[in-house]
Chain A
Amino acid sequence: AQSVAQPEDQVNVAEGNPLTVKCTYSVSGNPYLFWYVQYPNRGLQFLLKYITGDNLVKGSYGFEAEFNKSQTSFHLKKPSALVSDSALYFCAVRAPNTGGFKTIFGAGTRLFVKA
Chain B
Amino acid sequence: GAVVSQHPSRVICKSGTSVKIECRSLDFQATTMFWYRQFPKQSLMLMATSNEGSKATYEQGVEKDKFLINHASLTLSTLTVTSAHPEDSSFYICSARPASGGNLEQFFGPGTRLTVL
Contacts and interface: CB of A to CB of B under 8 A. Distances in A.
Contacts of A36: 108
Name the residue in B4, B41, B91, B104 with the highest tally of chain A Cβ atoms < 10 Å from its Cβ. B104
B48 to A, nearest CB: 11
A100 B42 contact: no
A43 B108 contact: yes
Interface of chain B, main secondary structure = strand
Given A101-B103, A103-B106, A108 B111 contact: no
Interface in A25-73: 32, 36, 41-46, 49, 51
A42 B43 contact: no
Interface string B80-117: 00000000000101010100000110111111010000
- Say which size band chain B's interface belongs to: 20 to 34
B111 A49 contact: no
Interface of chain A, main secondary structure = loop
A44 B44 contact: yes
* Top 8 A-B residue pairs of the complex, sorted by shortest distance between their CB atoms: A43-B108, A44-B108, A43-B110, A105-B43, A43-B111, A107-B43, A105-B44, A43-B109
Interface of B: 4, 6, 9, 32, 34, 41-44, 46, 49, 57, 91, 93, 95, 97, 103-104, 106-111, 113
